[in-house]
Structure formats: C-alpha cells, structure tokens
Amino acid sequence: MYINNKHYRTIWPDPRCQYVEVIDQTVLPFRFAVVKVQSLAMMVDTIKTMQVRGAPLIGAAAAYGMALAMSADDSDISLTTAAELLIAARPTAVNLSWAVSRMVNILKPLHPLKRNLAAWKQAANIAEEDVKQNQAIGQHGLALIKEAYDGSPFNILTHCNAGWLATVDYGTALSPIYAAHDAGMDIHVWVDETRPRNQGASLTAWGLAQHGVPHTVISDNAGGHLMQKKQVDMVIVGADRVTADGDVCNKIGTYLKAIAAKDNDVPFYAAVPSPTIDWNISADEIKIENRHEDEVLYMAGLNQDNQSAVFRVVAEGSTALNPAFDVSPARLVSGIITERGVFPPSFLRHLETQLIKSDVG
C-alpha cells in the first residue's frame, strides 16, 4: 500500500539478502519509522516488542528470522536454536510456529551450504503467498461491493484493524476496500475507534489516510445510530477465528455492530483467509481472553509537546474488566469472504468437505 505516495509492504528483504526491513508499528500512527533487522536476535526482539504485529505478518517475520540465522551460521545447531528462539518470541501466535516449522522442514534435509539461499527464497515465498491470499480476498469482496454500488458514495463500516499492517500487504477486511477504491469507486469508510486499544483510530485510520481512501473516525458508540440513519451500506470486519457453523470471533464490540446491522438490514461480512476457519470448535467453546485492565484504565496518545505518552482516563479507586473478543453468531452474518470466494455461513461445512477432498486428491 502507499505511504506518502511510495509503495510499501510491512516487511521486505534487502535485495542482496544482507538484512530485512520492517515498519516499526510501535510508533504508529504518530511517527513513521523503518527498522533495519540485521540478525536473528534483532528479529526475535522485533517480534517480542510488537514492532511487527498481526498473525500473517509475524509468520513472514519469523521466516525471515530463520533466513537471517542461516546467513550467519548454516549449521544444524543454528537451525534448531533459531527455530526455538523465534517460536518462544510470541508463544500463542499460530502463524509463527506454522512458518517456522515450514522453514525447518525445508532447510533441515538440505546440505548446510545450500541452506542460506533456500531460506531467503522460502521466506520470500511465505510473504508472497500472504500477499496473493489477501489480494484474492480483495477481489471476492470487490465483487460484493460492485453488486451493491450505485455510483453514489458507498459507506463501509469496519471495526478494529484488519488492514495491511497486520499482513505483508493488502490486509483482510480492508483488502476489498482498497480494491474498490483503486478501481475508482466512491468509497468512504467509517472507522470504529475500537477501544480499548484504539487500533481503528490509530492503525486503520492511518493506513487509509496514507493510501488516500476517504474515511471518518467514529466512537464505537456511533455505528448503530449511523445504521439507523441509512449512513452505512455494508459492514466488513476481520476475524481471529470463524467456526465451521459461521460464527465470527473478532475484536470486542464486533457483536454490537453485527446485531445493529441485522436490526437495520445492513449486510455484515467477515473477511478471512480460509486457515482462520476452525473446523473443530463451537461458538460456546471459544475461550475469551480477559486482557489487563490497564488497557481500559490508561490510553496512549500524543501529549501537548507532540510526544507519545500514556494517560490515565479512569479515576483512581475504580477497576476495569477487559474482555478482548466476542462472538457474533452466524445468524447475524451475511457471508464469509475468503480467498476462495464468498460463502454464506451455513455453507462453510460444505467447504470443509471440499477442502479435505482436494487435500486427499
């Protein structure tokens, strides 16, 4: 996507495979900085400190971490140690261990002298696959928007950040939006602030602004009212997990937008790569993590000296509860946008059979 009229991905290798560069997401949206990652240790640190974040991006970063390790030392012990260090950097990130395992499976059988080049090539493949997957989601979502578009401004509401910053490029929920904007359609995005961590007001708004997509930030409270007033034509969100029944687990507050969309006949879509569909869990079984109360009690922003700072926004003497996700039941979901097409929630189980068949075939 574009930043100041220049095309960027969130991660890219030096052409001579000496180092990797990433956008430092800890200083966004108030500052734009690129970090040069020159070693395995630096990549582990980059993942730990969340300079890179978002499941697909973490996977690509870990793959490049393996490549940096092979450049320095292509021995078996180096391979094993690098894999362990990277997996431990963010223990709960599924994409991270998936990407590391894939690298190890390819590199281990090779003669050490062949590992360095193979590692850089394979890391590039992992990054490229993510880009292709998100582009496909964008094209399937674009078709949906085209069906509903009548030439007048088309208003899409989104919650949290499922933009390109969480991926290598394009994003998931925002990929159809970028595709429609780039196709010359008159798209406007309502960006939910997304308390408590403000990923909408910071990352989503910043990304849309950089790419030149018209958008307006709203408090999380405003979306229902805008739907009542016919100011929302479609809702597109990402998801952390989708059940085989089509229930959508996503950032806290998504459920409130899903019921408001239903109450006002606004189509509600979740855009996810198909690996995000969890075939073995029901909505009731999804355990919702309660994150630290400080995320509610404090807020990050820019102080009057234009310095990033953390502020307390709740009086002393009160505590907070901070559930991080909620589940929007399938009955509220118009469709799931995947890289393989758009499916009604009830159709997902058929997709499972298809997927298994094609894998076996």
Least distance between its own copies and beta carbon 67 (Å)? 32
Integer Cα distance of 191 and 189 in angstroms? 6
Half-sphere exposure of 207 (CA within 13 A, CB side): 29
Q: Determine the Cα angle at 314 with ends 322 and 206, to 5°.
A: 70
Catalytic residue among 240, 247, 265, 359: 240
Judged by CB, which is closer to its own copies: 253, or 273? Answer: 253
Judged by CB, which is closer to its own copies: 149, or 190? Answer: 190
Q: How far is CA 173 from CA 33, 56, 157, 184, 204, in A?
A: 25, 13, 10, 18, 11
Judged by CB, which is closer to its own copies: 275, or 329? Answer: 329
Least distance between its own copies and beta carbon 298 (Å)? 8
CA-atom Rg of the chain in angstroms: 21
Least distance between its own copies and beta carbon 3 (Å)? 11
285-288, long-range: CB within 8 Å, 24+ apart, which pairs? Answer: 286/241, 286/243, 286/247, 286/249, 286/325, 286/327, 288/323, 288/324, 288/325, 288/326, 288/327
H or E segment to which residue 41 belongs: helix 40-48
Least distance between its own copies and beta carbon 93 (Å)? 23
Residue 150: active-site member: no
Least distance between its own copies and beta carbon 47 (Å)? 24
Judged by CB, which is closer to its own copies: 277, or 327? Answer: 327
Binding residues for its own copies, rule: CB under 8 A, are 28-30, 190-191, 193-196, 198, 201-202, 205-206, 208-210, 215-226, 228-229, 251-253, 255-257, 259-260, 263, 288, 296-304, 309-323, 325-327
Judged by CB, which is closer to its own copies: 136, or 201? Answer: 201
Total Cβ atoms within 10 A of residue 91: 8
Integer Cα distance of 3 and 15 in angstroms? 21
**Positions marked catalytic:** 240
